[in-house]
């Protein structure tokens, strides 16, 4: 986690540096987080940074902002940047005396609650957690999703799931992937995605139309003649769609002509996603032949999607087992009869979408199995 920290007094700056060292030690020992990358800036004295400019840069470049000072300073600084529960950075404030660490924004999805707890341990402070699920000891689905590396397609549905659990109700969870461990209190594993409140899947449309439990449907009195039913008969309103959590389990095999631009590759990719009913955020990596390793358009596409690019030699691709769509032209050009399907399969996944050709680009998808867990880290 990339953390940008700013302090406003000498005492606060000393605390910030101690905290940064402690977080770095956590990364080296494997505690709390796989890696903390903390930068500390001065908001006071000679060489101080401009707070407005610092906040704007940190908001874009970091996963979290840590203010060592009054919470009000942090609130005013971040106010112009707050936009969405799904995309806001984590924000934590700790007083310069190191007494209280307070998550101010993105406690679950952004990880501010965990950051506050880690900072509190490092500084000897008290973490002040105010989110209802944490205060009540109720399972927080958005925290679980973040830890599991799942993208949230419709974050507005988090509130509904959490409200059900906080009220003592139960939610049904369907997953395309195996989940180890005991389900949290109030969570039932569903075998039918159409009746699930939470759907864990790489497929976009697989979640569409899924309903929550009947207890959440509402009855609406229908005027006579409006639906063909007698006056006063209640019609059930459509149940809200489930919370959709996207599993990053898809490998995109990509082939392209020399000089293909990022836009052309992106267009073919999105077309393939639409036809395969795959959420673009489910793609964990792109794969291709090694002669395409320096194709600027392909590299730019991967940067824009924030996915790694794996490359394989023609010999490695030719050894992939399974049925593919052969091409004599491709064999004559790069030394193997198919690039996209074979590249998608190298990692051992199952081909779920065969070659699509569009605008000089070919795309295929494979799905790998990822085991999720309900167990706490």
pLDDT digits (tens, 9 = 90+) for 307-326: 999 999 999 999 998 889 88
Per-residue DSSP letters for 172-241? EEEESS-EESPPPTTEEE-S-GGG-SEEE-SBSGGGTT----GGG--EEEPPTTSSSSPTT-EEEPPPPP
What pLDDT shows up at residue 27?
52
Q: Which residues contact 71 (CB under 8 A, 6 or more apart)?
A: 93, 102, 104
Domain residue limits, the chain: 2-130, 141-246, 250-367
Lowest mean pLDDT among 231-235, 238-242, 371-375: 231-235
pLDDT digits (tens, 9 = 90+) for 360-371: 999 999 999 999
Q: Which CATH number fits domain 2-130: 3.40.50.11220, 3.40.1000.10, 3.40.50.300, 3.20.20.240?
A: 3.40.50.11220
Q: Which residues pair with 367 in a beta bridge?
A: 250, 350
What pLDDT shows up at residue 1?
87
Q: Which two tokens stand for residue 296?
A: 């600027």
Lowest mean pLDDT among 23-32, 71-80, 197-206, 288-297: 23-32
State how far the Cα of 129 lies from the Cα of 213, in Å rounded to an integer: 30
Residue 287 clears pLDDT 80, i.e. is over it: yes
Q: Express as a percent the part of the chain with pLDDT over 70.
A: 88
Q: How high is the mean pLDDT of the chain? A: 88
| Helix H or strand E segment including 223 | none
Read off the pLDDT of each residue in 57-75 and give the average, rounded to a whole number: 96
Question: Which CATH fold topology does 250-367 show?
Answer: Nucleotidyltransferase; domain 5 (3.30.420)
Return the residue matching tokens 């109720």: 138
Query: Coil, helix or strand for 197?
Result: coil
Q: Across the chain, how many H-helices and E-strands are there? A: 12, 20
Task: Indicate if 250-367 has the same CATH topology as 2-130.
Answer: no
What pLDDT shows up at residue 208?
40
Task: Please state the pTM of the whole predicted model.
Answer: 0.81
Answer with the residue of higher pLDDT: 307 or 33: 307
Residue 359 clears pLDDT 90, i.e. is over it: yes
Q: Express as a percent the part of the chain with pLDDT over 90.
A: 78
What pLDDT shows up at residue 309?
97
Confidence class of residue 237 from pLDDT cuts 50, 70 and 90? low
């Amino acid at each position: 986690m990339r953390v940008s920290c700013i302090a406003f007094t000498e005492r606060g700056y000393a605390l910030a540096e101690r905290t940064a060292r402690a977080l770095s030690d956590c990364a080296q020992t494997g505690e709390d987080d796989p890696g903390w990358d903390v930068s500390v800036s001065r908001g006071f004295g000679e060489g101080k940074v401009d707070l407005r400019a610092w906040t704007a840069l940190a908001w874009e470049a970091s996963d979290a902002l840590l203010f060592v000072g009054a919470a009000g300073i942090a609130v005013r600084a971040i106010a112009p940047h707050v936009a969405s529960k799904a995309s806001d950075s984590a924000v934590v404030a700790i007083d310069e005396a190191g007494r209280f660490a307070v998550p101010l924004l993105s406690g679950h999805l952004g990880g501010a609650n965990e950051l506050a707890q880690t900072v509190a341990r490092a500084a000897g402070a008290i973490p002040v957690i105010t989110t209802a699920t944490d205060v009540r000891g109720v399972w927080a689905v958005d925290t679980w999703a973040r830890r599991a590396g799942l993208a949230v397609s419709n974050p507005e549905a988090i509130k509904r799931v959490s409200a059900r659990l906080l009220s003592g109700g139960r939610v049904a969870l369907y997953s395309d992937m195996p989940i180890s461990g005991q389900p949290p209190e109030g969570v039932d594993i569903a075998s039918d995605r159409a009746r699930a409140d939470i759907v864990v899947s790489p497929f976009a449309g697989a979640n569409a139309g899924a309903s929550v439990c009947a207890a959440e449907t509402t009855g609406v009195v229908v005027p006579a003649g409006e639906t063909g039913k007698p006056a006063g008969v209640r019609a059930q309103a459509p149940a809200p769609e489930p919370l959709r959590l996207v599993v990053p389990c898809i490998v995109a095999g990509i082939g392209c002509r020399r000089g293909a631009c990022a836009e052309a590759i992106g267009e073919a990719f999105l077309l393939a996603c639409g036809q395969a009913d795959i959420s673009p955020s489910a793609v964990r990596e792109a794969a291709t032949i090694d002669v395409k390793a320096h194709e600027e358009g392909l590299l730019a596409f991967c940067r824009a999607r924030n996915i790694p690019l794996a490359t394989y030699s023609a010999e490695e691709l030719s050894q992939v087992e399974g049925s593919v769509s052969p091409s004599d032209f491709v064999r004559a050009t790069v030394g193997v009869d198919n690039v996209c399907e074979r590249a998608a399969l190298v990692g051992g996944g199952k081909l779920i979408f065969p070659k699509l050709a569009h605008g000089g680009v070919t795309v295929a998808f494979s799905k790998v199995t990822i085991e999720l867990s309900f167990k706490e880290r």
